[in-house]
């Protein structure tokens, strides 16, 4: 058996959420509303800043199921080019470099994500990864039922899908690596011998520090927003001071 490498997708391999780019593609195809897209855009920014929560993920799972119910599989698959056009520019070069270094060392690399199995496989194929595990969507006669086929690939569901991949590919999880950003992926990270926290949220930062895990940080949106807020505050104070001086003159 060989060691493998498992990468979470959202906020680990890429900035933000792949789901937002599905929402944007669906809006362009007339499958959803402008209001819903605005909500998804806001949630994507919040996700980039703070990571995922169980409550938000359950809500997304419920909404995705309702959206997919009775839709043709082909209708959604035709959105793939637009989704890729949104996702590919947001991949972290450092993470791709890390993945390919593992591959060059003889370790197969995989995507493990709460996104659909189709999305996971599509990205794995384009990125020349060795496989992928996502949330399988139930379909009948070419139509989605709105239900998931098997465990949702989130939280405790990720190690389930990882073990399936490991068995299929001959991978020893105890000797493998896993990369993720969120405390919700602690089951994924603890399923391997070499966990790595990437752009970790507050809770994962604490756990990584306590357990001596490697940490990689390069998400810059929060820092850029803080700089912008400081600049706007400085400008506002400066403008108020200038007006006060003028009024006294």
Q: Is 8 considered catalytic here?
A: yes
Ordered DSSP codes for 169-211:
HTB-GGG-EEEES-GGGHHHHHTSSEEEEES--HHHHHHHHHH
Residue 132: inside a domain: yes
Residue 215 has pLDDT above 90, yes or no: yes
CA-wise closest residue to 86 among 25, 11, 9: 25
Residue 223: inside a domain: no
Write down the catalytic residue from 10, 40, 181, 185. 10
Write down the catalytic residue from 8, 40, 130, 201. 8
Residue 228 has pLDDT above 80, yes or no: no
pLDDT digits (tens, 9 = 90+) for 88-97: 999 999 999 9
Residue 236: inside a domain: no
pLDDT digits (tens, 9 = 90+) for 44-75: 334 333 444 556 566 666 766 677 777 888 88
**Which residue has better confidence, 218 or 67?**
218
Q: What is the dihedral of CA 145, 147, 153, 157, to 10 degrees?
A: -140
Residue 10: inside a domain: yes
| Domain housing 205 | 5-218
Residue 239: inside a domain: no
Indicate the number of domains in the chain.
1
**Which residue has better confidence, 86 or 25?**
86
**CA angle (152, 158, 164) in 5-degree steps:** 100
Q: Which residues, 6+ apart, have CB-to-CB distance to 162 below 8 Å?
A: 6, 110, 112, 133, 173, 178, 188, 191, 192
CA-wise closest residue to 137 among 215, 212, 51, 76: 76
Q: Which residues, 6+ apart, have CB-to-CB distance to 77 below 8 Å?
A: 118
Structure tokens at 77: 């698959």
Residue 78 belongs to domain with CATH number: 3.40.50.1000
Put residue 170 in one of left, alpha, beta given phi > 0 → left and psi -120 to 50 → alpha.
Answer: left
Q: What is the CA 99 to chain-centroid distance, rounded?
A: 16
CA-wise closest residue to 49 among 213, 224, 241, 237: 224
CA distance 102 to 85: 26
Residue 56: inside a domain: yes
Residue 42's pLDDT band, with cuts at 50, 70 and 90, is very low
pLDDT digits (tens, 9 = 90+) for 170-209: 999 999 999 999 999 999 999 999 999 999 999 999 999 9
Residue 63: inside a domain: yes
Residue 242: inside a domain: no
């Amino acid at each position: 058996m060989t060691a493998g490498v498992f990468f979470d997708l959202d906020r680990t391999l890429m900035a933000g959420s792949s789901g937002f780019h599905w929402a944007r593609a669906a809006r362009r195809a007339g499958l959803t509303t402008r209001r819903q897209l605005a909500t998804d855009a806001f949630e994507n920014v919040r996700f980039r800043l703070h990571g995922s929560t169980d409550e938000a993920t359950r809500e997304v799972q419920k909404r995705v199921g309702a959206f997919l119910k009775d839709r043709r599989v082909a209708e959604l698959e035709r959105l793939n080019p637009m989704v890729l056009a949104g996702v590919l520019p947001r991949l972290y070069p450092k993470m791709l470099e890390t993945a390919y270094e593992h591959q060059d060392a003889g370790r197969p690399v995989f995507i493990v994500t709460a996104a659909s199995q189709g999305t996971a496989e599509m990205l794995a194929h384009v990125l020349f990864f060795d496989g992928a595990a996502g949330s399988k969507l139930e379909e009948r006669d070419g139509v989605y039922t709105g239900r998931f086929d098997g465990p949702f690939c989130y939280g405790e569901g990720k190690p389930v899908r990882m073990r399936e991949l490991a068995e299929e590919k001959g991978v020893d999880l105890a000797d493998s690596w896993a990369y993720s950003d969120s405390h919700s992926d602690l089951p994924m990270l603890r399923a391997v011998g070499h966990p790595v926290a990437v752009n970790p949220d507050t809770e994962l930062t604490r756990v990584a520090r306590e357990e001596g895990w490697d940490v990689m940080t390069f998400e810059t949106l929060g820092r850029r927003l803080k700089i912008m807020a400081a600049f706007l505050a400085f400008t506002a104070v400066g403008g108020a001071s200038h007006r006060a001086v003028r009024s006294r003159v």
